[in-house]
Amino acid sequence: MQIETPAIPASLNGTSTTTRQWLAVVAVAVSAFAFVTGEFLPVGLLPQIAHDLGVSPGVAGLMITTPGVLAAIFAPMLIVLAGRMDRRHVFLLLTAVLMISNIVCAVAASFPMMLVGRALLGAALGGFWTLATAAAPRLVQAKDAAKSTATILTGVTCATVIGVPLGTFIASFASWRLSFAATAGLVAVALIAQALLVPSLPSASALRVAHFKALLKRPHTRLSMLMVALVFGAHFSTYTYIAPLLEQDFSLSAITLLLFGFGLIGFFSNALMSMAVSGHLKKSVAVMVLLLLAALSSMLLLEHSTIGETAGMLLWGIAFGALPLCFSVWIQRGTADLPEAGSAMFVSIIQVAIAAGSAVGGAIVDRAGVHADFMLGLGLAMLGLVTLQRLSSMERPVKASSFKGACDASAD
């Protein structure tokens, strides 16, 4: 029941990926940069926005929860509604919605209006990530599929290195509204890059609900999605509220530097992992989840130690810089016969984890404090590690020929 080959434009004749094809990958990576900058911009600005719009920090966390919920709903819905529409045109439409979202947030006079802007972001976000992770192998030759995915995910780490800290920096001398306005300008650049560089990406056939049902019948797929949900939930239930924790010991400018360091080391972690993930996937996932556990533990055990918290943030950056790539390749291997369905489910489960993690984390922060929230994150990460061990003992997913080489079904 194959809906489309993940590498339609990339022939399997062994020729090298052209410069034009890599430029298309870079254009999608720029768009990923813009989306992630827009999605997580409120993390570094949460206290200021909460103060100006008259809400508590926990309620302000809805700026992360709202787009997560909408993205989880729209990831499968948009890809089904798109039918056989050229994926290039869908990319352009979703990026335009993202630009409108940031403009609405920049001028929001009330918190409900801010949530309207964030909801628009969520609607575009789900569809974008579904297409981006599924299209990555199609933009290049088959042997470069993993590198293409890693390049697009580099946009995520670059956003944490440059985008989110820059937004915090702008707010430190101007206002958080200017941060959203600057992000809207960034999105405009991404839209132009897509229009000029991304080629036509026709869909071989429309995605149907039956494709999702087929994947959900697979025990390996169900357990894989649970593992992703637990680990992403661990990250976002805590990272969303990192500013209230750090502001006890760091100034706003120091927090900006910490977020920059988090993203910078994550960038290098993603780049290095792209060279190892194809051959050692299980080990890569296990090591990165363990590093996440170590980071969350250090933030609790070494609280009020600026050196300890800095080390914890850097460990955290290493872990989360690599985990999206590891999980993306994991899902690509397990759902290579139904790439867009697998990608839509992957994006949905991540957004559910972001929404639930930030919502539950916000409730805990408001009622029991940041420490209790980090204990929740530790528990979720440990459960994710247990789920990985269970997956390791299961039968490996069936290999798809189109992923041969870059994404072999062998985990290690």
Is residue 13 assigned to a domain? Answer: no
Strand ranges (E), 9-111: none
Is residue 83 assigned to a domain? Answer: yes
Over range 31-40, report the average pLDDT.
86
Is residue 3 assigned to a domain? Answer: no
Is residue 185 assigned to a domain? Answer: yes
Residue 238 has pLDDT above 60, yes or no: yes
Residue 45 has pLDDT above 50, yes or no: yes
d(C-alpha 10, C-alpha 403), whole Å:
12
With 0.75 as the threshold, say if the pTM is over it: no
- Residue 257: give its domain's CATH number: 1.20.1250.20
At 395, is the pLDDT very low, low, confident or very high (cuts 50, 70, 90)? low
From residue 288, alpha-carbon distances to 127, 186, 376 in Å are 27, 31, 18
Is residue 29 assigned to a domain? Answer: yes
User: Residue 13's pLDDT is what?
Assistant: 47
Over range 276-282, report the average pLDDT.
80
Write out the two tokens for 148: 């293409």
User: Residue 181's pLDDT is what?
Assistant: 92
pLDDT exceeding 70 applies to what percent of the chain?
Answer: 90
Is residue 155 assigned to a domain? Answer: yes
Over range 191-196, report the average pLDDT.
89
Q: How many helices and strands, by DSSP H and E, does the chain display?
A: 16, 0
Is residue 14 assigned to a domain? Answer: no
Highest mean pLDDT among 28-32, 162-166, 394-398: 28-32
Is residue 1 assigned to a domain? Answer: no
The number of domains in the chain is 1
Over range 146-160, report the average pLDDT.
78
User: Residue 342's pLDDT is what?
Assistant: 83
From residue 323, alpha-carbon distances to 114, 260, 266, 277, 318 in Å are 30, 18, 10, 10, 9
At 321, is the pLDDT very low, low, confident or very high (cuts 50, 70, 90)? confident
- Give 251-264 pLDDT, tens digit per residue: 877 887 888 888 78
Q: Which domain holds residue 209?
A: 19-403
d(C-alpha 50, C-alpha 42), whole Å:
10
